[in-house]
Every structure is written in structure tokens, then in C-alpha cells.
Structure 1
Amino acid sequence: MPIRELSQFLTEADIEGLRRSTETATGLPGSVYTDEDFWMLERRSYFPSRWMACAHEHDLANPGDAVPVRVAGFELILTRDSDNKIRAFHNICAHRSMPVLQDRQSAVSTIRCPWHCWTYNLRGQLVATPNLGGIHVGELEAFDRSELGLREVNCDSFLNLVFVNIDGKAPPLREFLAPLQRRLYDYDLDVLRASGQSTGVVFEGNWKLVIEGGVEDYHLPWVHPQLGPHSGMFTPEWDDTDCYVGFSSQRPADDEPVSITGNPRQATAALPVFPHMATPTQDGLGPPGLILMVPPSAVFALMSNHVVTTLLIPLSVDRTEQRRSFMYLGDAASSSELAPARQAICDSWVAVGDQDLDLASALQRQHRLRTETDIPTRFSPHWEPAVHHFQNMVVNHLIAQSAESGDQLSS
């Protein structure tokens, strides 16, 4: 069945409503969150052309590690070879398309298709085809192994996340993430160490709904009451190249018994902080928390004493996997004395995530209903400019891709 075009989901009126100021704009129609056909359009025209985070670097901690991963409907293999480089390949055997890797493997030099035993090294090269030409005949002149390796996918890493670009046409990851790196200039990222803490959950909601819920603080007092009432400062943030979108926020330094992430301040006071946050500010506010999304699947949350790198893996039109990994400054990542502080940090993030689970499934359900009833959505001009901008980011990218395919929709 042909994939429907963007103009079949978004009218000129939809675009005009989205392009207005946040105070008067209307949001994307519900079908972009619920329609299987729109998911297929994203799989053709959005996901492949973006850099997508699909794993944490510590998922492949050692040479000889190989893991299967799924992201946005694509099945991949990640490997770390003896040169310590992480590589990505489509998990499709060059013989008859069987998935080559079913489960994580460690301390290996090759991976083997379970159907007919075609064997590949960790650089994707085909190295063995047992009995290809008959019993004990493993090679044939018509089969050039150098042309039958696993199909490689562009792959690179940043701040504990492994990214892939499916169509191979995106700029290098460092170039793409340059705006993010400039935003994080004050943070000494080199001192960060992975703690081994990780959490995972699946939201029964579209990936865009999960991102939208993560770039505004409007809902906090009611959905996450442990974080306290609205206070301090909230600043939506994004760059001019549609690399990232998110926000920064600050709470009063002395008035709040809990930190910006909800853990008791006293429980985590011994954790070291980033040097540029060690000096109290003059405005009575505590150090800022910064949450930046790199759609569709990477989230960087930088707090004064820890960093959380999160994968938001689109699984289907209505399911999104979230996997977090926690990093701390230097020895704080492994110190036994600071284990209770690390646990307090992790517990606070888990509590917030658990509270979001029912919200995601309810939103998914209601977006289906509002599609049927043609009810538009609106934005808070104070709290939700980043939500508004994110929706425009998605549309901008799809319009650009649609123009390449000949589908005309005004920008």
C-alpha cells in the first residue's frame, strides 16, 4: 500500500494555525499521534533522515560486545570491535534476510545468522558461508564475500548516547550537534562517569506526546506534587537549526526542601557539582536544571550534581520505550559512601516517570477521540513555547522531505 503524503494529514489551515504566535496558535491534529499511516510517513520521511539515539555507550562497554537494537521500526546491530569503535548495521542477513543477532553477545569476534550460519565479523564483513556449494564447500566463485557484508549504518556517539542515521545523508553528528555543544559549553562534560544506574519503562503513547510532556513544567504541581508548587524561573530553549528543544529552570536556593528533580536536598548534598555552579547566584535562586531533547529519541538532563541521558525509542505509533542512564562527576559515580545519594537521585526520577505513565496512555486515547470530534489544542504562552516549537520542528522537517519527493505543502 502506498504511503500517504504529508498533505493528506495537514491542511493549509493546519499549517497556518501552527505558525501563529504561541498565544494564538493551534496544535497539530490528533491524527499525527494516532494514525498508523502517519507513523509510516514518519518512518519514510522523518526518522531515517535524523540522527536517532538508539543505545547507551555502556550497552557496548567492551570490545567483543554486540547488541541488537530497535528504533522507529528499524532493526539494527551495534558492535564494538577490537579497535574500540562502535559500528551499526541493519540486522538483516545478506543471504535470505533472517535477523542475524537475536540477543546480546559479549567477548565474541563474529556473529552468526541462526538460519544458515552465514557468519560476519564485528566490522560487518561476511567471513564464512558453511556448505554454500554443498557439503564442506563453503565458497563459490559467483559469491563475492566482500560484496555481501552487513549493510552498515552511519553511527557515532555523544555524551553516553549512540546515534544512528539511517539514510546516511545527515551531516556528521558533531556538526549536527554543534548547537547543543555550544549550549553546554559551561559544563565540564569530561569529568562525567557512568554510574551503572539505569531505569526502563514503556509509555503507551506516541513518541511526540512523550517529548511534549517533557519540555514544559506547567503540569508539575498537579502531576508531580512532590516537586512542589511553581516557583523560581522557567525558560523555554531551542536553537535555530532544529537540533534541540527544551527548557531551563531554577528554584529558590533556600526555600525548597527538595531539589529541582524532587529528591531531598540533604540526601544529595555531598555529591560534587559542576564547577560553574559551585558559587551561589546573586538572585537567590539555586543552580539551574537543563533538559534538552534532540528529537526523536535523545534527552539530556543536566543538573548541578548529575546528568541523565535518556533514550526515547519510538516503537510504534502508540508505544515509546524510555531508558535512562545516570552519570555523576568523577568518583561520585562509584563511591560507596555516595551510594545513598545516587539512589535518592534515581528514585526521584523513577517517581516522576511512573506518574507520567497513565498520563501518556490517557493522552493517546484522547487524541484519537479529538480527531473524530475535530477539537483543536492550544498552548500556554508562558509554559509551552517549547511544545509549540517542537511541533513546528517536526512539520519543518517533514515539509522539507516532502518537497524532495514532490509533495507540495507550504511552509
Structure 2
Amino acid sequence: MSKYKPLSSVTNNIEHTNGLGNEHYISEKQFESEKNKIMFQNWCGLSFAKDIPNIGDVKPISFLGLSLLIIRENNDVINVFENTCRHRGMQLVNSPQNGKKNIRCPYHNWCYGLNGSLLATPHIGGIGIHTHKAIKPKSMGLNKIRSHIWHDIIFINISGTANDFTEYYSQLIDRWRDFEQPIKYGGKDSSFSITLEANWKLAVENYCESYHLPNIHPELNKISKLEDHYDIVDSNQYSGQGSSNYHQLRDEKNNAFPDFKDLKDKWQLGSEYIAIYPNVLIGVHRDHIFSIILEAISVNETRENIAFYYAKKLKSTEEINALKKLNLLFWKKIFKEDIYVVEGMQKGRYGGKFDGGTFSPVMDRSTHNFHIWITQQLN
């Protein structure tokens, strides 16, 4: 925490507390601590399953300095491994690959299956001798990273000690039970990324509250007003906001995206936007879902990787393609409007006398909920 109040004070009643101190946003040492105590211990969003759609697709990816490898083993199984050969520690893959039958180390040609098993060890016992009694292939497969896929997001737990995903997030899964059905990535005009010169936590804090709506999103506030919104603070694993006035996107001919099946009436005009701690942001609507994975690049740099999903595989018609593009541009404008405030809060954290700030007991409950969770993880 800062020199003003101890970290434990963050968990006090919202009327009598301050937020996280400056060091949680600007300190390299604190960033490392949070990496180990928060990111490695919990379920974190890594990537999207849509990025490896076919069997044998391989995607190398960096996660907070760890070199990882995502592999689609079959239509139903995606594996995440350390991108490291078990022989001499060589990085196995340095660029995306498609249709692979196996993974070969570029150093000594050791070969692994799509399930991570060690298949071949050329010349390990000498020239032309490919086995050795000291090498036990069954125990030398790639080091597997615990993973779970939900709404096409590949979640990982580096430590391997987090509670079962569906158990830990059962409250949220139940809350959004209506959306437990197949979703389809929109394809072209359905993804983009934004890089922020800010700590990843500020992106979470901004996303989960609607207090800033009139000032930062004036056009959005005309159709989904601040007074239409409510806080979501029913769990200590997530928080966010909801709106009771969602305006479905339609073109001049009244074309719209198909709705998800059998939704309750609340979703005809309702939408919800939740930050799943620590680094995933999701928005659900009657006709589409967007997901944002926050990639913490450094203490003061974050990349938002954003993807859009629909209830059905959309036909490539002129009307649908135009709607997809319109939807992408609508949300891109909103997300880009947030850059100014997220980066502005980062700059403000270098103010030496700033004590973590205060919370509105009415409008900042979602943000305070997130600060409490961070504090509990660090303690």
C-alpha cells in the first residue's frame, strides 16, 4: 500500500476506506509480486479457442514472461503446455503453425505428440540408437498447464492449485445460465486489439463501473443512460454493471443478428458487463457476446484482445457483413473513448501525495469489490 494507510484498510467499509496505493500501479517490484500471487495462482484468460480452429493448429504465446504453447489436439480438446523441450530446454515453436501431426524440437529433433507425449528421441543412445534405459518417454512429455475453456476463452492456472473452474465461478455461470449454449466467432470484422499505457488493473476498474458513462461516452449515454444501469456486486470473484435498456443493432431494412435461443424476458432489453477477476471482461447481449482478455505486458502497459461472438454461424451476406462491421465500429469507438481515462489514471498514480483515492459508496461499489479481491490475494 502507500505510506498513508496499510493494505488491509482497503477491505474496510466503502465509506471509510481508500483504494490501492500508487505502488500497485507503478512499481516493478509490486508488479512481480502480483504476477506470482495473483496471476499465477488464479484462473487467467490466455487466448481464444477461435485462434486455433483446426486439428494440429499450434500457437506459441507469452504469458507474463512464460513461453507457452496452445495446441488443438482434436475437435474437442485444446492443450496448453510450456513451450519448452524436456531435453535441453529449447523453445519448441516461435510462430503459429497449422495442421501439425506432431511437434519437433529444432535443436535435437525430439518429437512430441499433440497431447504432449514424447514420441521420439533420435540418437539418444548414440548414432542410430534412438532409446536409452535412462530416458523414460512416458514421464518426459511436455509440461502441461492446467486449462479450461469457457465461452471460447482459454483460461489457465499456472500454479495448478486453484479450485475447479466451474466450481469457483459457479455463481457467475448460474447468473448467465441462459448463455450456456454454443457461440460462434463472427470471423471477419470480429476482433481487434488496443494497447494501453496503463496498468492492467485500471482497465478492470474502468470497465466494471458505469459512473463515467455521461462524461466519457456521451453518445452511448443517450441510448443507454446512467440511470438505466445497476451494479453487479453479488460475488467476490467478479463485479460489473448491467443495463436495462439495450438497443439491438438494426440496419435501415430492420435486419438484426439472430438472438440466442430460449432467453428469459429480461434479456430482451437487458445486457450485462462483468469483469471476471483477474483479467477477463465479458459483455452479454441477446444477440452477441464480446470478450476482452487483458494481457499485462508490464507494470504500465496492457493489451486488450477483443473478440465478438454470435448465436449462430453468420451467413456471409451483404447485410450481415455490414452489420458485423457496424457492431465492431460501435464497440471500438466506445473502447477507444476509455483509453483517455485509463491512461489518465495511470499518469495520476505518479502523484506522490495521492493516497489511493476515495470511493463513492453508491457508484463505485464494483471497483471497491475488485480492490478487496486484490487485497485478499496479496494477503
TM over 0.5: yes
The CA distance in 2 between the partners of 1:191 and 1:144, in whole Å, is 41
Deviation of the 1:264 alpha carbon? 7.2
2:371 counterpart letter in structure 1: Q
**The residue matched to 2:174 in structure 1 has which SS?**
helix
2:169 counterpart letter in structure 1: L
Counterpart of 2:322?
Answer: 340
**Residues 215 and 384 in structure 1, CA contact (< 8 A), matched pair in contact too:** no
Counterpart of 1:393?
Answer: 373
Deviation of the 1:139 alpha carbon? 2.6
For residues 322-347 of structure 1, what are the alpha-carbon distances to aligned partners after superposition, in whole Å with 9 as ceiling and x for unaligned? 11111112254755532222211111
Cα RMSD of the aligned pairs, angstroms, is 2.6
**Residues 19 and 355 in structure 2, CA contact (< 8 A), matched pair in contact too:** no
For residues 364-396 of structure 1, what are the alpha-carbon distances to aligned partners after superposition, in whole Å with 9 as ceiling and x for unaligned? 2221x22x3344311223321101110101111
The CA distance in 2 between the partners of 1:198 and 1:244, in whole Å, is 24
Q: Among 259, 271, 294, which residue is 2:257 paired with?
A: 271
Counterpart of 1:60?
Answer: 52
1:309 matched to 2:303? The reply is no
1:246 matched to 2:240? The reply is yes
The CA distance in 2 between the partners of 1:164 and 1:126, in whole Å, is 22
Counterpart of 1:359?
Answer: 341
- What's the TM-score once normalised by structure 2's chain length? 0.90
Deviation of the 1:143 alpha carbon? 1.8
Deviation of the 1:166 alpha carbon? 0.8
Mark the CA change 1:335 to 1:381 in structure 2 (over 3 Å): closer, same or farther. farther
Counterpart of 1:232?
Answer: 227
**The residue matched to 1:363 in structure 2 has which SS?**
helix
1:93 matched to 2:79? The reply is no
Q: Among 194, 202, 206, which residue is 2:185 paired with?
A: 194
Counterpart of 1:329?
Answer: 311
The CA distance in 2 between the partners of 1:275 and 1:144, in whole Å, is 50
Q: Among 138, 151, 157, which residue is 2:143 paired with?
A: 151
The CA distance in 1 between the partners of 2:274 and 2:281, in whole Å, is 6
The CA distance in 2 between the partners of 1:293 and 1:201, in whole Å, is 17
Q: Among 211, 216, 220, which residue is 1:218 paired with?
A: 211
**Residues 81 and 109 in structure 1, CA contact (< 8 A), matched pair in contact too:** no
Counterpart of 1:256?
Answer: none
**The residue matched to 1:327 in structure 2 has which SS?**
strand
**Residues 232 and 250 in structure 1, CA contact (< 8 A), matched pair in contact too:** no
1:218 counterpart letter in structure 2: Y
Q: Among 128, 140, 158, which residue is 1:166 paired with?
A: 158
Mark the CA change 1:359 to 1:113 in structure 2 (over 3 Å): closer, same or farther. farther
Counterpart of 2:5?
Answer: 13
**Residues 43 and 73 in structure 1, CA contact (< 8 A), matched pair in contact too:** no
**The residue matched to 2:91 in structure 1 has which SS?**
coil
Deviation of the 1:28 alpha carbon? 0.6
The CA distance in 2 between the partners of 1:292 and 1:386, in whole Å, is 9
Mark the CA change 1:232 to 1:287 in structure 2 (over 3 Å): closer, same or farther. farther
Mark the CA change 1:59 to 1:106 in structure 2 (over 3 Å): closer, same or farther. same
